[in-house]
C-alpha cells in the first residue's frame, strides 16, 4: 500500500505519532487488536477499559506492549465502579505514557498522573471543563460533540470545537462526527490539532466487534441513531432498535418525581453493550454509534482507513484552497 507522508501538527509532535488521529476508547471494541493496529499504522491506539476489573486492564496493557512499540494510550472511564483501582494500576505499575479520560472529571487524579510522567488527555464536552483541565495540567483535550456515539454531552462539535480552541493553549482534538477526510480537514480549519475517530474504527477489519453490529453501522442512515438515558443524567447515543424503543417508552412513562425510579431502565440497559458488541444481539443490545454512522459504508483495514482520512483531507485542501486565494 502507498504510504502517505506524515501530517505534522501540535498533536503529532506532542505524542510522537505520524498522523493526527486518535482512536476512540469504545468499550468492548477498543482492545489490543484494534489499538495496536492503529498505533502501528501511525495513529494513537487507545485501550478502552469500560467497566473492566483491574486484572483485565493489566492483561490488556501487557498484551498491547507485545503488539506495538509505537505510542499508545489507555482510557480511564469514570463510570467504571473499579476506577480507583484502575487508576492506581495505571499510575503505579502499568508504565504507560499516555492516558485519555472519559465520562467524568479526572481532577482528583491529575496530580498523580503528572507526577508519574503520564501525559493526560481528558475528553470534555464543555468550555468550562476544558479550561479547568488545562489549568490543572492536561497536555491536550479531546472535545466531544453530541454527534458522537456512547455517553455524550449537549453541544455539537461545530459549535463547541472553535470555542474550546479559543479558550485553550494546549492542542485540541475534535471528536463526534469526524467520519472521513473532509471532516479532518474541517477540524484542522477550526483550529483543532487532530481528530478522534470511533464509529469508523468499529467496522475496521482488525475490530473484534460482532459482525452483526458492524453490519448495522454499515447499513445505518443519517437518522438511525437516538439518544437514550437523558432522564438518568447519562445520555447515550446508540443505533435505534427494539431496545431503544422499549427504553424510550419506559423513559416516557417516568414522571418527573422528586425521586424517579430508574429500576426498569437499569434492567433494560444492564449488559446491553456486551449483548450488542460481543454477542451480536442487534435487537436487544446497545449499539453505541455516532451520527456519522450513515456515512460509514465500507470496512477496510485500520491502515486503509487512516490513509483514507489523510489522502482525502489533503485532496480537499488542494481543491478548496482556490476559494481562499
Ligand atoms: O466517555 C465517553 N463515551 C462513553 S463512556 C461509555 S461506557 C458506558 N457504558 C454503558 C452505559 C453508559 C456508558 C460509553 N460511551 N465519551 C467521552 C465523554 N466524556 N463524553 C462526554 C464526557 C464527559 C461528560 C462529563 C466528560 C466529563 C464530564 O464531566 C462532568 C463533570 O463532572 O464536570
Q: How confident is the model at residue 253 (pLDDT cuts 50, 70, 90)?
A: confident
Q: Name which residue sits closest to atom 24 of ligand 1, judged by CA.
A: 103
257 pLDDT exceeds 80? no
Q: How high is the pLDDT of residue 259?
A: 77
Q: How high is the pLDDT of residue 261?
A: 86
Report percent pLDDT > 70 for the chain: 98
Ligand 1 pocket, Cβ-based, cut-off 6 angstroms: 27, 50, 77, 79, 102-105, 123-125, 129, 144, 150-153, 234, 236, 273, 288
2 pLDDT exceeds 80? no
Query: Candidates 49, 79, 83, 151: which one to mutate for ligand 1, based on the most atoms within 8 Å of Cβ?
Result: 151
Q: Name which residue sits closest to atom 33 of ligand 1, judged by CA.
A: 105
d(CA 102, ligand 1 centre) in Å: 5
pLDDT tens readout for residues 282-307: 999 999 999 999 999 999 999 999 99
Q: How high is the pLDDT of residue 114?
A: 97
d(CA 321, ligand 1 centre) in Å: 37
pLDDT tens readout for residues 33-59: 999 999 999 999 999 999 999 999 999
Report percent pLDDT > 90 for the chain: 90
Q: How high is the pLDDT of residue 270?
A: 85
312 pLDDT exceeds 90? yes
pLDDT tens readout for residues 187-214: 999 999 999 999 999 999 999 999 999 9
1 pLDDT exceeds 60? no
Q: How high is the pLDDT of residue 260?
A: 84
Q: Which residue has the cell 484502575?
A: 86
Q: How high is the pLDDT of residue 252?
A: 86
Mean pLDDT of the chain: 96
- Please tell me the distance from the alpha carbon of residue 158 to that of residue 31, in angstroms, as a whole number: 29
Query: Candidates 28, 82, 103: which one to mutate for ligand 1, based on the most atoms within 8 Å of Cβ?
Result: 103
Q: Name which residue sits closest to atom 19 of ligand 1, judged by CA.
A: 103
pLDDT tens readout for residues 211-252: 999 999 999 999 999 999 998 888 999 999 999 999 999 888
Amino acid at each position: 500500500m502507498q504510504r502517505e507522508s506524515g501530517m505534522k501538527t501540535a498533536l503529532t509532535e506532542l505524542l510522537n505519532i505520524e498522523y493526527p488521529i486518535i482512536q476512540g476508547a469504545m468499550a468492548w471494541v477498543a482492545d489490543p487488536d484494534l489499538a495496536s493496529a492503529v498505533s502501528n499504522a501511525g495513529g494513537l491506539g487507545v485501550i478502552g477499559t469500560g467497566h473492566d476489573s483491574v486484572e483485565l486492564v493489566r492483561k490488556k496493557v501487557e498484551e498491547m506492549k507485545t503488539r506495538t512499540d509505537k505510542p499508545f494510550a489507555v482510557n480511564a472511564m469514570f463510570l467504571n465502579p473499579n476506577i480507583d483501582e484502575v487508576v492506581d494500576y495505571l499510575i503505579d505499575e502499568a508504565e504507560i505514557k499516555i492516558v485519555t479520560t472519559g465520562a467524568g472529571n479526572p481532577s482528583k487524579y491529575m496530580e498523580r498522573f503528572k507526577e508519574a510522567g503520564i501525559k493526560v488527555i481528558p475528553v470534555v464536552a464543555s468550555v468550562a471543563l476544558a479550561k479547568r483541565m488545562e489549568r490543572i495540567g492536561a497536555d491536550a483535550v479531546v472535545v466531544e460533540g453530541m454527534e458522537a456515539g456512547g455517553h455524550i454531552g449537549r453541544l455539537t462539535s461545530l459549535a463547541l470545537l472553535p470555542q474550546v480552541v479559543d479558550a485553550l493553549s494546549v492542542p485540541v482534538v475534535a471528536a463526534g462526527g469526524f467520519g472521513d477526510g473532509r471532516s479532518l480537514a474541517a477540524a484542522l480549519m477550526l483550529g483543532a490539532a487532530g481528530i478522534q475517530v470511533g464509529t469508523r474504527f468499529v467496522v475496521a477489519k482488525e475490530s473484534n466487534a460482532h459482525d452483526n453490529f458492524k453490519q448495522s453501522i454499515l447499513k445505518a442512515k443519517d437518522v438511525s441513531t437516538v439518544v437514550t438515558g437523558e432522564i438518568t443524567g447519562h445520555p447515550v447515543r446508540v443505533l435505534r432498535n427494539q431496545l431503544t424503543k422499549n427504553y424510550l417508552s419506559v423513559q416516557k412513562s417516568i414522571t418527573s418525581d422528586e425521586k424517579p425510579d430508574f429500576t426498569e431502565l437499569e434492567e433494560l440497559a444492564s449488559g446491553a453493550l456486551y449483548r450488542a458488541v460481543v454477542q451480536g444481539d442487534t435487537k436487544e443490545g446497545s449499539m453505541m454509534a455516532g451520527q456519522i454512522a450513515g456515512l460509514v459504508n465500507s470496512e477496510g483495514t485500520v491502515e486503509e482507513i487512516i490513509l483514507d482520512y489523510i489522502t482525502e483531507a489533503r485532496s480537499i485542501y488542494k481543491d478548496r484552497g482556490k476559494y481562499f486565494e
